[in-house]
Amino acid sequence: MPGKNDSPSEQESSPNWSAIDPKVTTLVNDIIARVADKWTLLILEALDENGVTRFKQLGRLVPGISQKMLTQTLRQMECDGLVLRTVYAEVPPRVEYQLTPLGESLGEAFCGVWKWAERHHAEIEAARKRFAEGQGKD
């Protein structure tokens, strides 16, 4: 959003917020809320690194996730078009998951956040420490 301290060139490159379709705004907020869920990001990363992956293997690749949460998260990712679920008519049934091109592109978009966090980890930790130390001085 353009601020009062933005230079004219920054204001020119900023979006016209009043011209943005409210449906797009709703979609962006919805996707950010879903992807901000730690399980979605971890599943996205596991599938990106391992390709086609069976359900049980995916559960092992995402430490700490319950079977229920893995199922719920995968269903939501499938609903959003991020994951392709393939069921093979075998006994016992075999189910595999893989990222769709849409899921791969989302992973690429959030890759920048991971890189930013790695690059600024020490600064963030130092700021948190300074903040915590200053809390007892009021």
Q: What is the pTM of this model?
A: 0.69
Residue 97, burial from CB neighbour count under 10 angstroms (0-12, 13-18, 19+): buried
- Sequential DSSP letters for 18-76: GGS-HHHHHHHHHHHHHHHSHHHHHHHHHHHHH-SEEHHHHHHHSTT--HHHHHHHHHH
- Each residue's pLDDT tens digit, 74-100: 999 999 999 999 999 989 889 999 999
CA distance 99 to 43: 10
Q: Which pair of structure tokens corresponds to residue 106?
A: 């989302």
What pLDDT, in 10s, does the model give residues 39-65?
998 999 899 999 999 999 999 999 999
What is the band of 112 on the pLDDT scale with cuts at 50, 70, 90? confident
